[in-house]
Structure 1
Amino acid sequence: MGQRNGLHLPAEIVAESFVPAVRVSLAHALAERGCAQREIGDFLGVTQAAVSKYLAGQASVDDRLVEDERLQRTVERVADGWVAGDLDAYDAMVELQDLLRTFVDRGPVCALHEEAMPALDGLECDLCVRGPDAAAARERETLRDVRVAVRTFAAADDAAAHVPNVGTNVASALPNPTSDADVAAVPGRLHAVRGRVDVPSDPAFGASQHVAGAVLVANDADSTIRGALDLATSDALLDAAREQGYDPVEFDAAYEGRADELRATFADGVPAFAYHRGAYGIEPVCYVFGTDARDAVTRALDAIAAVE
């Protein structure tokens, strides 16, 4: 299936790709077991002419589905059971429905859906599995928050000049986060390349350690803080932040005990800018916090724009 544009429902992928793959595979499996084309058609709910096309290789199917070992095992089990009389159409439907669930749980149907609808790529969508529940909606909004914040930062003038050598990350946490897995960020970080900000991939949960760790501590001190990014510490940036009305707070650069250090730093409230001056092997970094990733990026860009 080639790439297409626009809206495509998961049901379309199931109807256009999964169902034909199952029918063609079952037709071959039943024919190998000596079933007549009319019998096969009755079982599959298609005409004898359709079965003839299936067996002649005239039906279009996606090899990624047909060659999947899970599909092959299910087809063999269904074919054996039906021929032996141990399985009827209802039982076959149950077997195939179970297979479909595995295929839509980050499986090949998901891959085909992303191919048909590129806007889904990288969103870690599992709507088919969990439905539009509140938790899934919060995850999608958190990922969207990071995507929008990253695009805004990458498009800003002079942003690249404030990206640390180790790279920048932009993070956003779910409500009440407890670990890095509850924080969305960009795998591989953002890097300055020839005066622009390079974004290597779409955001994902659990993709950050240092920025996510800072967000978790900040959120523990103030539950309204769920977003952050890190910039290179410079006197010019800190002065510009002060001009914007912020009061940057310094903390120790050491990685060991970083969470405890930040916790002590945030005892009187989470500052918009928290920085360290670096140490041996540790590049100077300034964290910018906000209510979400977009808010943090807005604060950062306001300061960057004021740098003289």
Structure 2
Amino acid sequence: MKTNAFEVASRYIYPSIRRRLVEVLREKGLKQTEIAELLHITQSAVSRYLKMDRGALIDISAFPDVDREIAELAERILDERPGEYEIHSSLVKLSLEFLGKGYACTFHSQIDPEVNPVECRVCIELFG
């Protein structure tokens, strides 16, 4: 295994979850600058997420349970306007949940052919 689960989470899952969060907020009619302010990121980053230049390798909307949690997070962000660290904590938790459910196994094996998703249960055992 050349690419470990934490690398997969930080390089691919977290950005894909954040991209989906940006999309959900955009679907609610927010402007890029408003989304950037709410998420404590730059407007340029929001633009890259929306253009699929960042976080586009995993379609989070294909996982209805995670997508529902992202929608709930978007509502909480709109209602409570949490700080940067609280949002980051929520995104990390969602990333670990994604790993724990085994959703990243096939993707992980595609980026690292040494990973056998049938034999590897590391994420499921650690985070499931």
Instruction: Give the match for residue 101 of structure 1.
Output: 96
- Within the candidate set 7, 24, 35, 1:12 is matched to 7
Structure whose residues are more often helix by fraction: 2
**Runs of at least 5 residues in structure 2 that lack an aligned partner in the other structure:** none
Q: 2:34 aligns with which of 28, 31, 39?
A: 39
Which residue is 2:20 aligned to?
25
Residue correspondences, number: 125
Match of 2:46 in 1: 51
**Aligned twin of 1:193:** none
Indicate yes or no: 2:116 matched with 1:123. Answer: no
Q: CA RMSD in A?
A: 2.7
Structure number with the higher strand fraction is 1
Aligned to 2:109: 114
Distance 1:36 1:24, change over 3 A: same
Determine if the alignment matches structure 1 residue 88 to structure 2 residue 82. yes
1:87-139 CA-partner distances (Å, limit 9, x unpaired): 514544444343223321251223222222222203232257439xxxxxxxx
Q: Deviations over 1:59-87 (max 9, x none)?
A: 351344342112211111011111122x5
Sequence identity percentage: 22
* Structure 2 letter corresponding to 1:71: V
Name the CA distance, whole Å, in 1 between partners of 2:93 and 2:79.
21
**1:65 and 2:63 equivalent?**
no
The correspondence of residues 275-286 of structure 1 with structure 2, limited to 5 A, is none
1:76 is the counterpart of 2:71: yes
Runs of at least 4 residues off by over 6 Å: none
TM-score scaled by length of structure 2? 0.75
Distance 2:75 2:101 in 1: 29
Assess, with a 3 A threshold, how the Cα gap between structure 1 residues 8 and 63 changes in structure 2: closer, same or farther. closer
Alpha-carbon distance between aligned partners in 1 of 2:67 and 2:126, rounded to the nearest angstrom = 26
Task: Tell me which amino acid in the other structure corresponds to 1:123.
Answer: E
- Per the normalisation by structure 1, the TM-score is 0.35
Answer yes or no: is the 8 Å Cα contact 1:30–1:79 preserved in 2.
yes
- Higher relative contact order structure (alpha carbons within 8 Å, sequence separation ≥ 6): 2
Alignment of 1:240-279 (within 5 A): none
Structure having the higher Rg: 1
- What CA distance in whole angstroms lies between the structure 1 residues aligned with 2:90 and 2:30? 20
